[in-house]
A and B are shown apart, each in its own frame.
Chain A
């Protein structure tokens, strides 16, 4: 029982960070373990934004391996060296925690090669690379994470988010949602449910050369969509295909640089409520989350089984 939410503002840039925080805080009771945001700011004309981490949050306790500041510093300099080697020029860098960083960089080469090599550094994981996408995930509820990473004033058009109750894998950042569709810029996924043919699909995709960082079943949706898009299949078509090719009970939300989409399985076992208006579309596991950004009465509906919807910015 996780909580998922997505919001898309049509043709205007607003404080989407605050919108997402309010919605995810309203879903806290569906999953208090970790919270993740995938937010889309104004796309950069030049260069990329990369979010990555080089260690785990120590608060996870059970599996926590505390890394020393020297280890973290060493790993960061290894990442910097690899970026330099590939010709990526870091123009701006910042960090909110000792283990998570945000880089802005100019780059003209192959993103896949760069991303693959960065991840060869011990414990390094790229959370996202994109022109607009910034993916933030950490342990704690929506407000904790938003405050930690300063999301209260994130201006953008759309975003998706997730509050996690861990059922299939560990409570740590690498198993938290959203998942970036490695190595495709600006594609991210959040998911609520269980996938039953995870290992079968994972073996197929691994043979094609895709990387898996966690044992979380939701990661496969991101990789699956990425694989489809690599073959030139449109997002909406890929989502329709996923209904037949992924087994289990699921509702998931996908975002790209200018689209937001949702898909629900044949059993309609996982909830989703949608509010659509001329200016904004909001979807969440529960209406109470949407009502956190619309205090007045609104007209909402549940999508039916096997329904796929895609909205444009």
Chain B
């Protein structure tokens, strides 16, 4: 909080912002600093459903937004039919249930909602998620949780190649197996795989942790096995419980993998944190 107090004293509110998006969406008034843009109050007990059969991705996403603005807290989407880019860009607390499979880029760029997908997801599900919880009941495609920033991303079945590529935070939990290059270039965050992992796991990882219950086919460049501590075992147990995943391997037998720190010299502070430390 010290950071915010400090900003009030600086010339922050006089800052002249340029660029189209900045001008449209951001004004440096005090209220805007404490609330999220476009945040609305929703009642989780108010429930509505949308049939996606004849809808394009854009129309469905607009309908979800409309329902949210009307105060509906639970939105059920029927017949998603594996279409691409469904449920993207929800920046609010919301309970979303997809009664079927999603195509590519499902629920990407979200910040806050709780999503349950009663089917499978294609490539790049929940990419760039900031916060919230996404649970996939079936399998997931490649690039699952690409560039994830926060929140819990859960798949009960198997995930494809490059799971958690470039992730910068949050947790990915996989009930089954994961494909090649899992955790490729990950920078932060944690991946938990209850089953086996294919070749080149954790290749070129900067930081973060990968927990594996099964076998690892091979480790990628600069990925090394680390030591689990008591706290991590407790954390794993809790996380898997919350995610409704029952692992065949007992949590105490999981292995932990981290970066060997030989490839990269990475400053793992967020820009705002760095500013705080440097004064």
Contacts and interface: CB of A to CB of B under 8 A. Distances in A.
Asked if chains A and B come from one complex, the reply is yes
Which bracket fits the contact residues of B? 20 to 34
Contacts of B198: 304-305
A288 B79 CA distance: 12
B164 interface: no
Q: Is the interface of A mostly helix, strand, loop or mixed?
A: loop
A13 to B, nearest CB: 28
A300 interface: yes
Contacts, number: 68
B180 A288 contact: no
Given A267-B180, A299-B120, A304-B180, A286 B104 contact: yes
Contact of A297 (B119, B157, B162): B119
Interface string B153-164: 000011011100
B145 to A, nearest CB: 15
A266 B83 contact: no
B100 interface: yes
Contact of B139 (A269, A290, A291, A302): A302
Contacts of A286: 82, 84, 103-104, 122
Contacts of B160: 268, 302, 304
B139 A301 contact: yes
A305 B104 contact: no
A304 B160 CA distance: 7
Q: Is the interface of B mostly helix, strand, loop or mixed?
A: loop
Interface in B129-164: 138-139, 141-142, 157-158, 160-162
Contacts of B81: 288, 291, 295
A287 interface: yes
Given A267-B180, A305-B161, A300 B104 contact: no
B128 interface: no
B224 interface: no
Nearest to A292: B81
Which bracket fits the contact residues of A? 20 to 34
B139 A300 contact: yes
Given A268-B179, A297-B100, A302 B142 contact: yes
Interface of B: 81-84, 100-101, 103-104, 119-120, 122-123, 138-139, 141-142, 157-158, 160-162, 179-181, 198-199
16 contacts: A267-B180, A268-B160, A268-B161, A271-B141, A286-B103, A287-B120, A288-B103, A295-B81, A299-B120, A299-B138, A300-B120, A301-B158, A302-B142, A304-B198, A305-B180, A305-B198
Given A290-B82, A302-B160, 8 more contacts: A268-B160, A268-B181, A291-B82, A295-B81, A297-B101, A298-B101, A300-B139, A301-B158
